[in-house]
Each structure stands twice: as structure tokens, then as C-alpha cells.
A and B are shown apart, each in its own frame.
Chain A
């Protein structure tokens, strides 16, 4: 429920209009980027062609033909999907144990793991590059999946934990009375009950993996390079080729924007780390 100053019909409509105008402002940079992606590089830099131009698919064709977009996209999908699955596979039993079987110290461990996320990743980059190169793991999908999983694991566990905590302990205990084993409890009781929360967590983890640029750009060259690397590679230092860069960026964020629109509830739940239920 909201507190509303005056609830006249006109007041409500004008507030809604205002909220939509702000929404358009918010969406404008994305809109501008999508628009630019349909312009030639020459049109893209001409202000008089801001809204009026001859749309072209040249940038997208160029991207798929000369830049091997699909290989980068495939790498992005594979690494993000597997990292999310593994993070959930470790996170669900972990959060389950902490929510229903708490041992002393587990929460401290979790807090400690969360706090490591605050440390500047730059401090770890140099030794990490050094080590992965000498182990022969540099530029492999395996490495990227492991890294993506590990950096998101603390948040995944934390979010799942907040959802699991809301499930009454009695339900789990009733299952134990009936002689269901741990795996059965997780599969038959916990997962169905917390399904919404698990989906939101998975979506958040997927988005974070998909967007991750720090590690994926710096720990890959070609074989495991993701869409972030493709954008990075198209950033001409002089700031030229905006049409092409916009097309690459649009193609990289498109899946997230579309996915997010169809899973609005999970997107909001996930992006607010479960604060909005």
C-alpha cells in the first residue's frame, strides 16, 4: 500500500505520465544504442541523422560474417549456463544445510565468503593470469566456468539461504519423520517449495555471468572468448565505428533485455537480491 497525497483521477494520471517520461529517459541510452546499430558508421556520427536515416542491417551482417558473432555468443551461453547450474548445484545443498541444519560457524563462513567479494579483483588478476597460463588453463571454457561459478557462489548461497529460511522447519521435519532421506527432502520438499526463489537466483546468477567482463576479457584470447570480449575488441581507440560497436553491444544485451521482459518478476526479485519478494 502506498501513501498518496491526493487521489484524484487527474493527479494519478499525471503522476503515471511523469513516471513513464522518467522511464523513457532511463531507456533512452539503450534505445539510442539500438537505433545506432541500424545506421552506417558514417550516419552514426551525424547528428542530423539522429532519428531520420536509412536503416541498414550492414552492421549485423558484418558482425556475423566477419566477427564470428555466433562463436562468441555460444561461448557466452555455455559458460553462463554451466556456471549457473554448478553454482546452484553447490549452493542449494549449502543453503539447505545452513537454513535447516545450522552448525556453529557456518554463518561466519558465509559472511566471510561474502566479504571476499568486496575485495578489489585487480589485486588477484596478476597472479591469476600467471598461474592459469602455467597450468595450461588460460583461455579454456573450463576455467571461465569455474571462475564465474566461484565469484557468484557467495551471492547465490546468500540468496537461496534467505528464501529457504522462510520455509517452516516443521515441513522439513515432517519429511524426516516419514523417513525421507536428505536427498529426498531437498528434491521432494525443498526445491518445489522454494522454486520461485531458486529461479530468481538462477536468473540473477545467469545475468551476472553473462555480463562479467573483468575476468572473461582478461583470462581469454579466442577459444573461450565471450561476448564481453567481442565488445572489448570492437572498441576502436579513436572512438570510430559506432555503428558496428552498437550492433555488437545490442546483440550482447538483447538476450538479457528480452529474457528480463518475459521474467519481470524474477528479474526484479533477482536484481534486488531477494529484497523484493
Chain B
């Protein structure tokens, strides 16, 4: 009995959470998929009716904005956070005595919830209250920084707040990576008189390729989850300029009473995640352990 128990322990322990995840994730996704092919409005209906919701979705200018915002936001956020994180890591990797404390400060934003981040930045970016008003108060009357209320620029304020939140995290990952590069090779390169920037671009950064991949996975995960950040910072506005697919879906389901639209947008979101992120996740986790 104990023998059997020990042999099957992994499965026994995993089974309940496995089943719950199975029901909650796949059951609900299945439900969403079904509803996306119906004429559901305020209440779910279950008679299938082809691609009508998807046609409506692709005809909607609001969805267009939300969908392209996802790529603008995701791309800028991931690329800039990685570059900034790398620069900060190299900066901290210079034998700074108080490194531990600085590292914690850089990492702090990551420990804050996205609604708090959104709140803090909403304050700073608000033209009437924050940075613009302060700089004008110092005598620079022409200083303008109104991205938060400018429909063309508002999405970039979301990028700024998101980068602030996670570049410290990327820094910590890269810092660990910098320390794990083989010191012998670096010393040899320095003895050969190769300039420092070449040592970084030709030796150290290529050696950290797996860390770039991990950072990419976590950052894309955060980009998908930035729903709360958008809600707290801009609420999707001005107008619907900073809508992301997640906020679009939320608005449709809970304030517009249009479950069909919500379901079809959720399915598109899911398709995007599956095609971009999941393959990376799998390849990463597989190579790590074989």
C-alpha cells in the first residue's frame, strides 16, 4: 500500500489541480469558443450561426485599434525593457559597493501591483498635475507633455509605465547572466587587447542568449497581463485610443452587454498567444532539461 502510494505520489498530488485546471481553463475556453459562433448579445445563446461575430469584430474600428495597440505596445515594451535592463545590468556589474541595495530598488516596481503602478504614473503623466504642470511652474511655460490625453500618443504612456515596472526585473536576470559567463574567455580577450565594447557585443551578449529567451517569455507574459495597468492608467482612453484586446473584450462583456463580441475577441487573443508565445515556452523548457 505505502509502496503503491509512493510510486503514484506525483500523479496523486497533481491530479486535483490538473482536473481543476482542465475544467476551468479548457472548459471555459470551450464555452467561449462555442459562444463566439452564436448570435449571443446580453445573454448567452447556444444556436450556432457561423462567423457572424468574427465579421462584426473585423469590421469594428475599435477592435482595429485594440489589435494594433497590442503589437505596438508589446513590441516597444519588450524591446525597450530588454535594452534598458541590459544597460542597467552592465552598469551594476562595475564593482559597485552598494550593489545589493541598488538592485533591490531597481526591482521594487516589479513587486508593486499594476493598479498601483498605473495610479502613480497617471499622476505624473497628467498634464494638469504632474510633470508638465511642475516644469511649467518652474518657468518653462511652453513645456508640453500631454501624451496621456493625446489619442495618438496615449499608448506610449502605457509603454512607459510598463517598462518602469519590469526593466529592473530584466536587469536582475541579465546581471545573473553576466556573472555566469566564463571569466577565462573574457580575460583572454582582454589580454588580446580587444576593446571592452567588443567583448560585450561579441562574447558576453551571445553567451547570454538563453537569458534573453527567458526574459522574452516573462515580458510577453506581462504584456498579455497588462490589462490592469491600462485600466488604472488610461481606462482605455482617451476615447478608445489605448484599448488592448483584453480591455476590448472586458468592455464588450461587462459594459456593452455583447457577449458574442467578447467571445470572438477572446478567441482571437488566444490564437495570437498560441502562435507567438507558446512555441517559445515549449522550446525553452525542453532544451533546459534535456
Contact = CB atoms under 8 A, between A and B. Distances in A.
Contacts of B74: none
Interface string A211-251: 11110000000000000100110010101001001100100
A12 B289 CA distance: 39
Interface in A83-137: 90, 93-94, 97-98, 101-103, 106-107, 109, 111, 113-128
Given A16-B97, A23-B105, A116-B21, 15 more contacts: A15-B91, A97-B13, A98-B10, A101-B7, A111-B282, A111-B285, A118-B224, A119-B25, A120-B269, A121-B227, A122-B253, A210-B113, A252-B113, A264-B101, A267-B104
Nearest to B217: A118
Given A26-B109, A109-B14, A120 B224 contact: yes
Contact of B228 (A7, A115, A213, A264): A213
B255 interface: no
Interface stretch (A29-37, A54-62, A63-71): A29-37
Interface of A is mostly: helix
Contact of B129 (A45, A107, A272): A45
B129 A47 contact: yes
B246 interface: yes
Interface stretch (B26-34, B45-53, B54-62, B75-83): B26-34
B246 A211 contact: no
Interface residues of B, number: 108
Interface in A1-49: 1-5, 7, 12, 15-16, 18-20, 22-23, 26-27, 29-30, 32-33, 36, 44-45, 47-48
A55 B80 CA distance: 38
A48 B129 CA distance: 10
Nearest to B20: A150
B169 interface: yes
A268 interface: yes
A271 interface: yes
Interface in B90-118: 91-98, 100-117
Contacts of B164: 26, 29
A249 B119 CA distance: 8
B108 A249 contact: no
